[in-house]
Amino acid sequence: MTGYQIDDVPSIEIDEQFKQILEESNADSAQVDLMSEAIIAVDESDNELGPISKVEAHYSSGELHRAFSVLLFDSNNRLLLQKRASHKVTFPNVWANSCCSHPLYSESERELKDALGVKRAAIRKLKQELGIGEDQVPINDFNFITKMVYSSRMNEEWIEREIDHILIIKADVDVNFNANEVSEVKWVNQEELEEMLVAEVEGDGEIAPWFRCIASRLMTDQWWDAVGDSDKLSAISDEMIHDMGDVSHMLSYVEGAGLNVSIKEVKPLVERRISESLRASKHSTLSDAMMHLVDGGGKRLRATLPWLVSKAVGDSHSGLLDIGAAIEIVHNFTLVHDDIMDDDDTRRGLNAVHIEYGLPTAINAGDAMLAIAFERLVLAKGLDNKDVAAMVNRLAWMVRRVSEGQQLDIEFEDRIAVSEEDYFEMIEGKTAVMFLTCAEIGSRMSGADDETIQCMADWGLAVGLCFQLMDDLIDVLSDSDTLGKPAGSDLAQGKRTLMVIHALSQDDSQGLTDLKAVLGKGDTATQEEIDLGLKALADLGSIDYARERAEMYHSKAHSCLDRLPMNPAIKALRELTDYQLKRIS
């Protein structure tokens, strides 16, 4: 392979889609060739999952993979830095540590004992990138220090998502860098590095996000003092995986990803947490019932929202994924019980849980899910005891508000006179409070100030209210296949949506008569009666009225985001704000 002096570099055939993507990038042919290298996909604990091509690991949402970062010091305790070449596929023109790359999916570089795999990879890349001979960097002179996990986006297309193994070596070396990889090198002492870290540089010559994490968050005076002393280096080494979260904001020119890609980045991580929790029961039928709706799919908006918000307003960490999993479990618990109370047979195109497993098991599964959600929450990583108590209290408040909203929804079916104020109280509890809680918790756990936390809570409430208004509209404007349940079913069940409340306040007319004829008729309603009822909502202006209110909350949500400082992660929140509105635009 171009640029290497070895013959056994494992590679994966790149499919036509990725070939086209790479051809359209600014990278030269040698860099494109390197994107077919087979590297090591890993889970959050750095357990090997299998081979993955570099392009697949770094494109779009990317995949978590193993990496290494070398800190090479000379005899004067100066650290070697390299500036990445301008035609690199990812993160060109940034200053990084001495050498950073990936161990390959080969027997020698997968070896975990004494970090031999990453050390061999480091020797290979020091030669390939910097022309440093193997004899100048003996493998026994490398010291493994620690690991860190981070993600950093460059733009919509490219991202780093790595568990980075950090190595230190002290050696006087001859540097003859490969211009295809590196454009410049320099040696810096501790003071000079600190000056680089605080310098206001934007664009060409910025510091790479992963190196900023190492230098600013991990690299203490002890590290500098220990360079060249194996005993001291051993004393500061650990087996931890330091959680840096998403650090995209550390680069000035980064372009954020949209909603779908941003969700896709962490959706598998959240779903693994959900599955671990719900599959922990020794009773397989109960586990299957709890997993039924989860396995049926879902975008996981609520599950990923704490993480998405935290990225936009502060620091993110994996504990936010635990919190998101807990909230998603609560959400699915409410769906199981909602379908029972609403007598709905289908959900997401599947049998409802009470249809698939029977009513007693469905009720029991919902109850268990609520308890499991709190179990997941208290096990969330990165939370202090005071944080756990606050989160439990807030989640309990959310569940109570959801129950209150659901109770109002139940009672409304038997009440003719339901006001708009009643309706908004109901949907705030039943739907909007989950968005509010996700946004509030996400911002609070990111370290945001009180003003920002309140801003995001206001945003979550506005998005949630818009979401439910649009959900009601979608029920009357979409077909059954799109909905995954019979179109107009809310009308037949007598749901007091804003449209129905508005229509019932109008003067008598044939349309109002048609609406009243089907409202609450349930399974006995014919399709013709439902169609007439839906037509009445349109003719009476009730659909337009509800849409106007939805657009008002949509505008309010965007105004909250307008108050935030610029951050690449806001792009996904903008798209989430628009999500429901676009479904029927």
Whether residues 146 and 177 share a domain: the answer is yes
Q: What is the pLDDT of residue 479?
A: 63
**Cα gap 403→398, rounded to integer Å:** 9
Residue at 495 is within a domain: yes
What length does the chain have?
585
What one-character DSSP code corresponds to residue 565? P
Task: Specify the 3-state DSSP secondary structure of 114.
Answer: helix
Residue at 7 is within a domain: no
Whether residues 233 and 286 share a domain: the answer is no
Whether residues 86 and 226 share a domain: the answer is yes
**Cα gap 86→65, rounded to integer Å:** 24
Task: Find the radius of gyration of the CA atoms of the chain.
Answer: 28
- Is residue 140 pLDDT above 90, yes or no? yes
Whether residues 270 and 219 share a domain: the answer is no
Residue at 1 is within a domain: no
Q: How many CB atoms lie within 10 A of CB 267?
A: 20
- Is residue 239 pLDDT above 50, yes or no? yes
Give the DSSP H or E segment for 311: helix 301-313
Q: What is the pLDDT of residue 465?
A: 96
Whether residues 363 and 222 share a domain: the answer is no
Residue at 10 is within a domain: no
Q: What is the pLDDT of residue 387?
A: 86
pLDDT tens readout for residues 277-306? 999 988 999 999 999 999 988 889 999 999
Under a CB-based contact definition with an 8 Å cutoff, are residues 65 and 52 in contact?
Answer: yes
Give the DSSP H or E segment for 389: helix 385-412
Residue at 217 is within a domain: yes
Residue that finishes a domain, picked among 199, 218, 250: 250
pLDDT tens readout for residues 364-413? 999 999 999 999 999 898 888 888 888 999 999 999 999 999 999 888 87
Residue at 360 is within a domain: yes
Spacing of C-alpha 76 from chain mean position: 43
Residue that finishes a domain, picked among 220, 250, 280: 250
* Burial degree of 387 (CB within 10 A; 0-12, 13-18, 19+): middle
pLDDT tier for residue 154 given thresholds of 50, 70 and 90 = very high
Phi, psi for residue 101 in degrees, rounded to 5: -165, -150
Count up the domains in the chain and report the number.
2
Cβ contacts of residue 16 below 8 Å, gap of 6+?
A: none
Range of the domain at 574: 259-583
- Is residue 99 pLDDT above 60, yes or no? yes
Q: Which residues pair with 517 in a beta bridge?
A: none
Whether residues 199 and 283 share a domain: the answer is no
Reference 246, options 260, 233, 262, 231; nearest CA is: 262
Cβ contacts of residue 310 below 8 Å, gap of 6+?
A: 245, 316, 317, 320, 442, 443, 445, 446
- Residue 541's region, left for phi above 0, alpha for psi from -120 to 50, else beta, is left
Whether residues 105 and 139 share a domain: the answer is yes
Whether residues 269 and 204 share a domain: the answer is no
pLDDT tens readout for residues 501-534? 999 999 999 999 999 999 888 888 888 999 999 9
Whether residues 224 and 285 share a domain: the answer is no
Question: In this structure, what CATH number is given to the domain that contains residue 77?
Answer: 3.90.79.10
Q: What is the pLDDT of residue 234?
A: 95
Residue at 5 is within a domain: no
Whether residues 48 and 162 share a domain: the answer is yes
Phi, psi for residue 37 in degrees, rounded to 5: -55, 140
Classify strands 143-153 and 241-246 as parallel, antiparallel or unpaired.
Answer: parallel
278: tokens are: 């719900």
Mean pLDDT of 314-340: 95
Output the DSSP codes for 26-42.
S--HHHHHHTTBEEEEE
- Is residue 136 pLDDT above 90, yes or no? yes
Residue that finishes a domain, picked among 226, 250, 274: 250
Whether residues 225 and 314 share a domain: the answer is no
Reference 471, options 514, 526, 434; nearest CA is: 434
Under a CB-based contact definition with an 8 Å cutoff, are residues 481 and 397 in contact?
Answer: no
pLDDT tens readout for residues 562-577? 999 999 999 999 999 9
Reference 160, options 8, 30, 55, 80; nearest CA is: 55
pLDDT tier for residue 3 given thresholds of 50, 70 and 90 = very low
Whether residues 34 and 156 share a domain: the answer is yes
Residue at 2 is within a domain: no
Amino acid identity, position 411:
E
- Is residue 30 pLDDT above 80, yes or no? no
* Burial degree of 551 (CB within 10 A; 0-12, 13-18, 19+): middle
Q: What is the pLDDT of residue 66?
A: 98
Under a CB-based contact definition with an 8 Å cutoff, are residues 96 and 250 in contact?
Answer: no
Question: In this structure, what CATH number is given to the domain that contains residue 326?
Answer: 1.10.600.10
In terms of DSSP H, where are the helices of 131-251?
Answer: 190-198, 209-213, 221-226, 230-236
